[in-house]
Structure 1
Amino acid sequence: MATASPTEIAGTEPTVPTLVEATRVWLRIGLLSFGGPAGQIALMHKELVEDRRWIGEQRFLHALNYCMLLPGPEAQQLATYIGWLMHRTTGGLIAGLLFVLPGAIVMLALSTLYAVYHNVLYVDAAFLGIKAAVLAVVVEAVLRIGKRALKNRVSVLIAVAAFIGLYVFRVPFPVIILAAGLTGWIGSRTAPHLFAGGGHNGKEGAPDIKGVVDLMFERGEMAHASPSRSSALKVLAVWLPVWLGPLLLLWLLTGSDSVWTEISAFFSSMAVVTFGGAYAVLTYVAQAAVDYFGWLAPGEMVDGLGLAETTPGPLIMVVQFVGFLAAWRAPGGLDPFLAGCLGALLTTWVTFAPCFLWIFLGAPYVEALRGNRAVSSALSAITAAVVGVVMNLALWFSLHVIFREVLTVEIFGAAPDVPVLASIDWRAAVFAAVAMIAMLRFKLGMVPTLAVCALMGFATGFLPA
């Protein structure tokens, strides 16, 4: 009697999807990818690993580990990675673009409505409710990521150190991430039992489910997944101009001080130095957009996050909102709406183009590193640091939503933000409490919570703040 293969044990052998079949699934995922990175990753796991078995459990987690290390939206990069595995560069482009496109279209429409109507009293009050609900979303993200990433005292210490470094001492994000990765790398050699790498979807120890991609590797049909110098040079030759070409062109045409050059230069640099996913990126973007460039007010950044939470696709799409308002308010000789659309398009371009570069350049080398314990430990330490990053984001948002005045107190090299207690906004505090109870106690979904708080804000728009 023949022995069943590991793939056949789980059922019939999965078949290789055509590019058209895969495109339909990627469009479905793009349209349904609500709930932030955790919900999006869970959706992809269900669609690609459990339901269709296009990729195996362990290979899915390995790809996710790499994407967690990269700057930018890990869920979109994971989709690009898996699309690339199955259908080479074309598949990666389709998967990555369809993950972004639905949300980009919706976000552009919402940004336009916000720019035109947000100063209306009742609309502004509704956005106050959305801001408060976003606090609950971010707090829930801290708890969710913490449960997944903080497996022992060492990981807790890494998260606390990251939070203190960011909030108290203003240590740059890249330094935090690199320090965490180095700690995990060294720890894998000195105390491997404390730095063992784990999965990122809560399925550690689950038996591997082999998929189409695994069978293609076994049959030797994955030549494009083997690293080579010539392939790496081709990727660089194509994607560096695609990414940085618009920046150079705008600098030559409009000068270094134009809003277009500022947008493209800032978000291009953001694509390199912002790690830890959307929640980690937002603090960096908010502080620069509000404090340095003056594109937005503090409350408007939280409004943008609230809008991004209601759209499919990556939460980092909030940067499109920032680019839209920046160009809307400094249109030059253009119509404000046209300028805003161009600003949104430019921001989206320079934010997501490097994501394809990271995947097409690095994925072959990542596949060659499968099973490397030191790399896995470094990724686990980085994930723990991300918990501290999101904690910092939660505190930053709460201070700027619940209090009207926040001061930076500098003492002995530290510079934490401290609220002016007399400036508390009672409506925001009540809305935030309601949202947290709804989400954390009664498990109400994110979109219903945002809707309820928006209605509460709208209803209280006639009351004094």
Structure 2
Amino acid sequence: AGQIALMHKELVEERRWIGEQRYLHALNYCMLLPGPEAQQLAIYIGWLLHRTIGGLVAGILFVAPGALVMLTLSILYALYGDAPLVEALFFGVKAAVLAIVIEAMIRIGRRALKNRVMVSIALAAFIAIYALNLPFPLIILLAGVTGWIGNRVAPALFSGAAHGKDAVPDIKGAVDLMFERGELAHTRPTRWHAPRIIAIWLPIWLGPVMLIWAFTGSTSVWTEIGGFFSVMAVVTFGGAYAVLAYVAQAAVESFGWLAPGEMVDGLGLAET
């Protein structure tokens, strides 16, 4: 949520790279896709402005700094995590992280859960994963089916559109002006564009996982990590906080990679 707000401030309000309505439309679309919506939004805007190179630069630079910092902190934690000073630091971080997660959940919930029906679906999902221990992908599938049926039966209860005084005023940006001048020909859909993209990027994504499986076997921890996070990449709808329970369930209970306290420590590292 913080990244989305910062991107809006920088790209819409200050730099005027993209208009308000197009930004919100793109954000809504990215929220429907699996994976981190903030990164997808950055890739989309970079692609609009500078085609494939722009999308690659935006996506890589969105992830790389945080990934390097996280790797460094993880190495330090693995080496010195048992030191009294480090344990004391993480004891305080855990409490702060829990507060951050709860606050983010409340903030996101207030925006997304607009009526009692949506609140009921959210509560049912919580009970399903916490009390019934149902798999996260199944919960997402059931929630999606519920939303699809609900939109047909009672569309007003499943609509998030703003009207009247709540409607967002349009602010045109550079991308909108480029569209009006017909300068974004690369955004026009073609018959072979999607198959070509899939043919290029699917092997790049799954190739390393298959190589790890071939060299280390199906039961190695490396194969398990690659397989799990590959699956997670296509079922993580709703952003990072929505998938925390799924990751914790798998890493702690299913695979035993981490202890519960270590999972919270890892979240603390990520939040810092």
TM-score bracket for the superposition, by shorter chain length: over 0.9
Partner of 2:191: 229
Shift of 1:190: 3.1
Match of 1:251 among 188, 213, 218: 213
Partner of 2:144: 181
- Call closer, same or farther: CA 1:256–1:188 in 2, change over 3 Å: closer
Within a 5 Å distance, the mapping from 1:69-88 to structure 2 comes to 69-88=32-51
Partner of 1:375: none
Separation in 1, partners of 2:261, 2:7:
33
Separation in 2, partners of 1:210, 1:185:
32
Partner of 2:263: 301
Are the aligned partners of 1:80 and 1:91 in contact in 2 as well (CA < 8 Å)? Answer: yes
Q: What amino acid is the match of 1:79? A: A
Partner of 1:206: 168
Partner of 2:242: 280
Partner of 2:223: 261
Partner of 2:22: 59
Are the aligned partners of 2:114 and 2:160 in contact in 1 as well (CA < 8 Å)? Answer: no
Are the aligned partners of 1:53 and 1:211 in contact in 2 as well (CA < 8 Å)? Answer: yes
Name whichever of 232-241 and 155-164 sits farther off: 155-164
Separation in 1, partners of 2:20, 2:32:
19
- Call closer, same or farther: CA 1:153–1:89 in 2, change over 3 Å: same
Shift of 1:103: 0.6
Unmatched tracts of structure 1, length 5 or more? 1-37, 311-465
Q: What amino acid is the match of 1:103? A: G
Are the aligned partners of 1:72 and 1:281 in contact in 2 as well (CA < 8 Å)? Answer: no
- Call closer, same or farther: CA 1:218–1:178 in 2, change over 3 Å: farther
Which one has a bigger Cα radius of gyration?
1
TM-score by length of 1: 0.55
- Call closer, same or farther: CA 1:66–1:53 in 2, change over 3 Å: same
Corresponding pairs, count: 270
Show CA shifts across 1:283-332 (max 9, x none). Answer: 2222212222222111101101101101xxxxxxxxxxxxxxxxxxxxxx
Q: What amino acid is the match of 2:149? A: I
Corresponding residue SS for 2:183: coil
Are the aligned partners of 1:173 and 1:275 in contact in 2 as well (CA < 8 Å)? Answer: no
Partner of 1:240: 202
Partner of 2:232: 270
Q: What amino acid is the match of 2:242? A: A
Separation in 2, partners of 1:304, 1:255:
27
Separation in 1, partners of 2:28, 2:111:
13
- Computed over aligned residues only, the root mean square deviation of the Cα atoms, in angstroms, reads 1.8
- Find out whether 1:144 has 2:104 as its counterpart: no
Are the aligned partners of 1:79 and 1:95 in contact in 2 as well (CA < 8 Å)? Answer: yes
Within a 5 Å distance, the mapping from 1:61-210 to structure 2 comes to 61-198=24-161, 204-210=166-172
Separation in 2, partners of 1:46, 1:185:
33
Name whichever of 211-220 and 173-182 sits farther off: 173-182
Are the aligned partners of 2:39 and 2:62 in contact in 1 as well (CA < 8 Å)? Answer: yes
Unmatched tracts of structure 2, length 5 or more? none
Are the aligned partners of 2:11 and 2:17 in contact in 1 as well (CA < 8 Å)? Answer: yes
Identity across matched positions, percent: 73
- Call closer, same or farther: CA 1:198–1:272 in 2, change over 3 Å: same
Are the aligned partners of 1:187 and 1:195 in contact in 2 as well (CA < 8 Å)? Answer: yes
Show CA shifts across 1:14-38 (max 9, x none). Answer: xxxxxxxxxxxxxxxxxxxxxxxx1
Are the aligned partners of 1:63 and 1:78 in contact in 2 as well (CA < 8 Å)? Answer: yes
Q: What amino acid is the match of 2:143? A: A
Separation in 1, partners of 2:120, 2:243:
22
Are the aligned partners of 2:135 and 2:246 in contact in 1 as well (CA < 8 Å)? Answer: no
Are the aligned partners of 2:105 and 2:241 in contact in 1 as well (CA < 8 Å)? Answer: no
Shift of 1:204: 4.7
Corresponding residue SS for 2:248: helix
Are the aligned partners of 1:290 and 1:298 in contact in 2 as well (CA < 8 Å)? Answer: yes
- Call closer, same or farther: CA 1:99–1:79 in 2, change over 3 Å: same
Q: What amino acid is the match of 2:105? A: V
Are the aligned partners of 1:85 and 1:213 in contact in 2 as well (CA < 8 Å)? Answer: yes
